[in-house]
Structure 1
Amino acid sequence: METKTIQISAGKGPVECEYVVAKVLRIFLLELINNKIDYTILNRETGIANGTIQSVSIQLKGNQLTEFLQHWLGTIQWIGTSTFRKFHKRKNWFIGCFEVKGLKSIEIKGNEIQFQAIRSSGAGGQHVNKVSSAIRAKHIQTGLQVLVMDSRSQHQNKKIAIKRLQEKVASFNLDQANEQLKNQWENHQKLERGNPVRVFTGSDFKQIKKSKSFKSKRNQLKDDLRKQLE
């Protein structure tokens, strides 16, 4: 299973581009669901108008992500009339979809957890303070720790502690990724308008599929050759 982080951004584009980001995001998430790819939205920067998005960063987990993203990474074009500036003549708007690299993610390994058995406290019967059934678990690398005394079974508390510590580290990873993404502006600055990977049109954002007709190209070459021979 692959893990990748992508960013859909309006770059330095106007409010219309932020509108396109919001519309394209919905289409992108729907395709993720249809392809059974898990996703987590790491960071979302709202645009200057209601319902618009300046940029959004998403962590993806699934199989064949590289193949899936081949149809998304690059410049995305929308052909449509601005709803924010009624008399604006421009019809072509561009946003970018980029892969974000270099984000660090910490995974918990069994030998990186430190366990300590301690006596439980509080309600639970007359034997609660006589048995060291509570468990304190600490992740050595991050210093994150949890205290579990849900059960009278030390073994059960240890299992619960591992699960809660995993949840804490996952939250820690998201916070760290958010911080890195907030400081990353390179994708906002670079946006090529040529050769878009996807083109949408109209208010319903219908996709325009690129025509790949090798037959017409072959016929054109034949015509060129015939003219040269005449």
Structure 2
Amino acid sequence: MTETVSLLVSAAQGPAECRLFARFVCQTLLREAAQAGLSAEYADQTPCRHGILSAVLTVRGTGAARAAQNWTGSWQWVCRSPLRLQHPRKNWFVGVSLLPEAVLPDTAGEVRFHTCRASGNGGQHVNKTDSAVRAVHTPTGVAVKVQNRRSQHANKQQAKRLLADKLAHLRRHAQQQADRHTHRQRHQLERGNPVRVCYGNPFTAK
């Protein structure tokens, strides 16, 4: 079964050396994905002078999720800085994390209408006719009820408009939640227990 995963490669708040390493990590992921028979490409990236601040890679193919498990975590580069020769630090870190898929309500699909007796104020017409309409979007279960129009047809049209507005709101909310998670991931980096350690310049993975 074809799978699709999104990987975030981030130097977090790391210095230029981490950004240099982040570019190498992206290149490594693209190469290893191709070797595994997977399709991988940049979905987004924030380049900088020395490398990449962060990037999102989309990986597709059978076994993409399993491959991603081997890549996610912190990557460590052990090397004296090639950019600041007198700098004492020699450990640099980059994070690779799996981005959650935004669960967006499907705006397509069937809408079921149920008629019912209108309730509340409105005179004899409202109380004695089945002009009220409840519309249910079957893929998501989202529902609205409209009874303020005098005809069933008018209530159906209004219900469809309200349902579309409600689904659009839910999609925006889901996307905002996913965007906030991605933003947090860009600034978080666990430096312990790296999943991959690279040495020297040029990079050599061990």
TM-score between the two structures when normalised by the length of structure 1: 0.55
Contact kept in structure 2, 1:71 and 1:198, CA below 8 Å: no
1:55 aligned counterpart, secondary structure: strand
Which has the higher mean CA deviation after the structures are superposed, 60-69 or 99-108?
A: 99-108
Displacement, 1:84? Answer: 1.7
Displacement, 1:103? Answer: 2.9
1:99 aligned counterpart, secondary structure: strand
1:70 aligned counterpart, secondary structure: helix
Give the counterpart letter for 1:207 in structure 2: A
1:185 aligned counterpart, secondary structure: helix
Asked if 1:83 is matched to 2:82, the reply is: yes
Give distance in 2, aligned partners of 1:109 and 1:34. 37
Q: Residue by residue, what CA displacement relative to the aligned partner does 1:142-201 show, whole Å, maximum 9, x if unpaired?
A: xxxxxxxxxxxxxxxxxxxxxxxxxxxxxxxxxxx8xx6598311122211110000000
Q: How does 1:200-215 map to 2 (within 5 A)?
A: 200-208=198-206
Structure having greater relative contact order (Cα 8 Å, sep ≥ 6): 2
Aligned to 2:47: 46
Flag the 1:204–1:107 CA change in 2: closer, same or farther, 3 A: farther
Give the counterpart letter for 2:182 in structure 1: Q
Contact kept in structure 2, 1:43 and 1:181, CA below 8 Å: no
Identity across matched positions, percent: 29
Give the counterpart letter for 2:5 in structure 1: K
Q: How many residues align?
A: 143
Flag the 1:206–1:106 CA change in 2: closer, same or farther, 3 A: farther
Contact kept in structure 1, 2:5 and 2:68, CA below 8 Å: no
Asked if 1:97 is matched to 2:96, the reply is: yes
Aligned to 1:184: 182
Q: How does 1:1-230 map to 2 (within 5 A)?
A: 1-47=2-48, 49-50=49-50, 52-103=51-102, 184-208=182-206
Aligned CA-pair RMSD: 2.9
Give distance in 2, aligned partners of 1:63 and 1:109. 27
Flag the 1:105–1:31 CA change in 2: closer, same or farther, 3 A: farther
Give distance in 1, aligned partners of 2:34 and 2:186. 26
Give distance in 1, aligned partners of 2:194 and 2:181. 27
Give the counterpart letter for 1:12 in structure 2: Q
Structure 1 portions without partners, runs of 5+: 112-176, 209-230
Give distance in 1, aligned partners of 2:106 and 2:19. 35
Displacement, 1:25? Answer: 1.1
Contact kept in structure 1, 2:4 and 2:65, CA below 8 Å: no
Displacement, 1:110? Answer: 10
Give distance in 2, aligned partners of 1:110 and 1:185. 32
TM-score between the two structures when normalised by the length of structure 2: 0.61
Contact kept in structure 2, 1:44 and 1:55, CA below 8 Å: yes
Which aligned segments of 4 or more residues in structure 1 are displaced greater than 2 angstroms?
Answer: 102-111, 180-184
Displacement, 1:64? Answer: 1.3
Give distance in 2, aligned partners of 1:7 and 1:106. 24
Give the counterpart letter for 1:13 in structure 2: G
1:71 aligned counterpart, secondary structure: helix
Structure 2 portions without partners, runs of 5+: 111-174
